[in-house]
Structure 1
């Protein structure tokens, strides 16, 4: 490769040297954006230092974006959801300022829990995924799972003598999002295994859950009253509880859509 510092490089040789150097140094953004940024710098008569700063900032910004994308992918969210897309006007039970404060993820930094409680269709899963996404974008390690899937994975790990390793894996993420807790009854073994995961994370790393049952009704999911009380204690101590209400947004949206269609047909 021609020495890029040699004086008197032709434009073609300089372009080749930049391309090869960016490949060698693993600077894909600078390699891709250099022609456009160089043209802009020439038009604006940028200083050498200013131009170098533009190049490096572009590379850093793109690396941060790619890291966020990797963390979001690793979280295994089932679909894309965002705070911006949430319709706060459709559910007056949810306080928008509270959700926007949670989106700063200070609670994740402190290892505090979050509980989203409400009927189906009230937006709790949307908020769970959206807040998890915000955490991933801010650099936290996040993992999303359904409650039943988590318990099944723990049972399989126990049967294969891999329980300690599996619990440690779930313990390492900064935020564990557990959806649909309370939809199905868990036997004592499954409940005890879930309790082990929560204990591993207690006051160290955050857990966020979404449930369609109030805490008083969790005895239908965790049939042992003492174990149920211990799990509720783990999930609420120093935490935030958001009540998403009973009015289904999805049902109301469907009814309004049907009403609009009927009016249009008339």
Structure 2
């Protein structure tokens, strides 16, 4: 059994070795990998100890969330293009090369429930992660709630910066719930932080004309649409739920064999 003895005044080399060993034992691979760079950033930016610890733990949480998303589904190989003819396979496979992520371009996936937009969002995010890009996936409501809490706790700037650093931010289920003006403005700040630098991909069940139900301020709504569409890609996954069609087909097949 390995034990740690705490010593005051560890050299930096000894401290790095201790952190590395502790991360191995505690199975914290992301902290282990990002600790040296974050330590240098912390020293340069004069971040507090609490801020440094928060950054490390959030990095680990983000990576675990990304891995869960990968396991939960979703590769392009699993997407049934034949079941949804609204989606052009050539366009999706071109997006899978991640050139749009390299250029910092946005992507919007618009369609009704069950048409595969969230599947494609996660699948394309997975392709980007496999290509070496830093990717973060979040639900729109979760992101807005986190931003509101960060603003209340006076750490909004650091939270927005954390979302600004990833190469691709995937926001799912945008348009499912109405956002108050404060929430919409905070989301706009994240989009502005990333504009023309790093990519944002969103999945929404509402066409842009219906976004006024989510973003009730018309000017703010127009500005958000502009941030998400300028120079980007728009994929419309249609209105017919292929997920429902598959379920019905399976039920019918079972009925015929029953």
TM-score after normalising by structure 1 = 0.72
Map 1:1-266 to 2 at 5 A: 73=64, 75=66, 77-78=68-69, 79-265=72-258
TM-aligned CA deviation for residue 256 of structure 1: 0.6
TM-aligned CA deviation for residue 74 of structure 1: 5.8
Residue deviations 1:102-122, cap 9 Å, x none? 000000000000000000000
Residue of structure 1 equivalent to 2:25: none
3-state SS, counterpart of residue 208 of structure 1? strand
Contact 1:119–1:213 (CA<8 Å) still a contact in 2? yes
Contact 1:71–1:141 (CA<8 Å) still a contact in 2? no
When residues 224 and 199 of structure 1 are mapped into structure 2, their CA distance, relative to the original with a 3 A threshold, is same
Q: For the residues of structure 2 that align with 1:142 and 1:77, how far apart are their CA atoms?
A: 13
Residue deviations 1:32-76, cap 9 Å, x none? xxxxxxxxxxxxxxxxxxxxxxxxxxxxxxxxxxxxxx9964635
Q: For the residues of structure 2 that align with 1:216 and 1:201, how far apart are their CA atoms?
A: 23
Contact 1:146–1:179 (CA<8 Å) still a contact in 2? yes
TM-score after normalising by structure 2 = 0.74
Q: For the residues of structure 2 that align with 1:139 and 1:263, how far apart are their CA atoms?
A: 47
Q: For the residues of structure 2 that align with 1:154 and 1:116, how far apart are their CA atoms?
A: 23
TM-aligned CA deviation for residue 127 of structure 1: 0.3
TM-aligned CA deviation for residue 77 of structure 1: 4.9
3-state SS, counterpart of residue 76 of structure 2? coil
Contact 1:94–1:242 (CA<8 Å) still a contact in 2? yes
TM-aligned CA deviation for residue 80 of structure 1: 2.7
Residue deviations 1:195-216, cap 9 Å, x none? 0000000000000000000000
Residue of structure 2 equivalent to 1:51: none
Q: For the residues of structure 1 that align with 2:127 and 2:251, how far apart are their CA atoms?
A: 34
Contact 1:117–1:214 (CA<8 Å) still a contact in 2? yes
Contact 1:72–1:137 (CA<8 Å) still a contact in 2? no
Larger Rg: 1
3-state SS, counterpart of residue 207 of structure 1? strand
3-state SS, counterpart of residue 145 of structure 1? strand
3-state SS, counterpart of residue 100 of structure 1? helix
Residue of structure 2 equivalent to 1:46: none
Structure 2: which 5+ runs fail to align? 1-60
Residue deviations 1:127-167, cap 9 Å, x none? 00000000000000000000000000000000000000000
How many pairs are equivalent? 196
Q: For the residues of structure 2 that align with 1:140 and 1:263, how far apart are their CA atoms?
A: 47
3-state SS, counterpart of residue 74 of structure 2? coil
Contact 1:185–1:220 (CA<8 Å) still a contact in 2? yes
3-state SS, counterpart of residue 89 of structure 1? coil
Contact 2:62–2:136 (CA<8 Å) still a contact in 1? no
Contact 2:136–2:168 (CA<8 Å) still a contact in 1? yes
